[in-house]
């Protein structure tokens, strides 16, 4: 079974292109592939992979899956939703005011304390500037409907961060030759951890959209030709 998402296309200069959405699940084994050729004054560079989406249609972004340091227990939260306390002082959380590091400062809330899934809510970066002992002072107010779901001494908090990345399993800044070349990647189920792993879908993915970053960081001297982008569903490997 296959889905042709793009037949023939010529792209001059940088452009982000997407195909149609395609349903998947944890058991899906598939191959993403497409053929590319440079035809401009300079050779094109591409990023080629999949965008991942939850069952409700929301995209699973980098800061949902990238996280560092230990989970901490939320013990109380201010009624204005602008600060909360943890069971202990965070270690190695990002506290610098350097604007270059603000993207590192998202916070993931796990209402029932189970961290083996995507966060129930993300306080987006820059979530905070600093903390005092075990009190986190937020840069944004947590909405009332989210406050109602927080359970003191049960809800956990983790330090999340963004990298502005998609999955790039099929090509990651690769140079495209002047003859047709196939770029491809096989995907087999979900990542068992957090962060992108080549050939694995992001946790809880229920649909995907193939995409190409054409002529990445290049001008109109780069012309990329594309054909036969498709997803091919394969049989799941059998245990011997």
**What is the Cα 40 distance to its own chain's centre?**
31
218 versus 129: the higher-pLDDT residue is: 218
pLDDT (mean) for 12-33: 91
Query: Which residue's structure tokens are 């010529």?
Result: 10
Q: Which helix (H) or strand (E) holds 77?
A: strand 67-77
Six-digit token string for 168: 């790039």
Q: Please report which confidence band the pLDDT of residue 3 belongs to, taking 50, 70 and 90 as the band edges.
A: very low
pLDDT tens digits along 46-60: 999 999 999 999 999
Count other C-beta atoms under 10 Å from residue 91's C-beta: 9
Query: What does the alpha-carbon distance between residue 223 and residue 119 come to, in Å, rounded to a whole number?
Result: 40
- 59 secondary structure, DSSP code: B
Q: Please report which confidence band the pLDDT of residue 27 belongs to, taking 50, 70 and 90 as the band edges.
A: confident
Return the pLDDT at 199.
Answer: 85
pLDDT (mean) for 1-21: 76
Return the pLDDT at 4.
Answer: 46
- 125 secondary structure, DSSP code: S
The structural domains of the chain, with segments of one domain joined by +, span 2-60+165-234, 67-160
Classify the C-alpha dihedral 7-48-193-76 as positive or negative: negative
Strand partners, 31: 186, 232
Return the pLDDT at 91.
Answer: 76
Fold topology of 2-60+165-234: Jelly Rolls (2.60.120)
pLDDT tens digits along 129-174: 777 788 988 988 999 999 999 999 999 999 888 776 788 999 999 9
For residue 25, pLDDT over 60 is answered with yes
pLDDT tens digits along 58-101: 999 988 988 877 899 999 998 888 899 999 988 766 544 445 55
For residue 28, pLDDT over 50 is answered with yes
For residue 126, pLDDT over 90 is answered with no
pLDDT (mean) for 230-234: 87
Burial class (CB in 10 A: 0-12, 13-18, 19+), 217: exposed
Query: What does the alpha-carbon distance between residue 200 and residue 179 come to, in Å, rounded to a whole number?
Result: 29
pLDDT tens digits along 161-217: 877 678 899 999 999 999 999 999 999 988 876 777 888 899 999 999 999 999 999
Return the pLDDT at 7.
Answer: 65
Six-digit token string for 36: 């590319």
Q: Percent helix, strand, coil in the chain (nearest 5)?
A: 5, 45, 50
Query: What does the alpha-carbon distance between residue 78 and residue 12 come to, in Å, rounded to a whole number?
Result: 53
Phi, psi of 156 (to 5 degrees): -115, 155
DSSP track, 159-213: EE--------SSEEEEEP-SS-EEEEEEEESB-SSSS--TT-BPTT--EEEEEEE
Enter the pTM of the model: 0.83
Classify the C-alpha dihedral 112-117-123-125 as positive or negative: positive
pLDDT tens digits along 89-114: 887 665 444 455 555 678 999 999 99
Return the pLDDT at 206.
Answer: 94
For residue 237, pLDDT over 60 is answered with no
């Amino acid at each position: 079974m296959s889905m042709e998402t793009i037949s023939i296309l010529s792209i001059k200069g940088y452009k982000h292109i997407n195909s149609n959405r395609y349903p998947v699940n944890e058991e899906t084994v598939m191959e993403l592939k497409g053929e590319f050729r440079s035809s401009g004054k300079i050779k094109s560079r591409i990023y080629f992979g999949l965008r991942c989406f939850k069952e409700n249609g929301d995209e699973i972004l980098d800061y949902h899956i990238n996280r560092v340091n230990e989970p901490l227990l939320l013990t109380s939260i201010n009624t204005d939703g602008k600060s909360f306390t943890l069971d202990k002082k965070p270690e190695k959380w990002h506290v610098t005011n350097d604007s270059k590091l603000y993207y590192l400062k998202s916070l993931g809330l796990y209402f029932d304390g189970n961290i083996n899934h995507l966060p129930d809510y993300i306080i987006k970066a820059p979530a905070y500037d600093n903390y005092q002992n075990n009190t986190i002072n937020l840069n944004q107010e947590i909405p009332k409907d989210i406050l109602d779901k927080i359970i003191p001494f049960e809800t956990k908090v983790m330090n999340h961060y963004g990298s502005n990345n998609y999955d790039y399993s099929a090509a990651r800044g690769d140079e495209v030759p002047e003859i047709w070349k196939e770029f491809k990647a096989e995907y087999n189920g979900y990542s068992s951890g957090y962060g992108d792993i080549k050939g694995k879908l992001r946790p809880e993915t229920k649909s995907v959209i193939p995409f190409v970053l054409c002529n990445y960081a290049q001008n109109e001297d780069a012309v990329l030709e594309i054909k036969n982008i498709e997803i091919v569903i394969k049989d799941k490997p059998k245990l011997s």
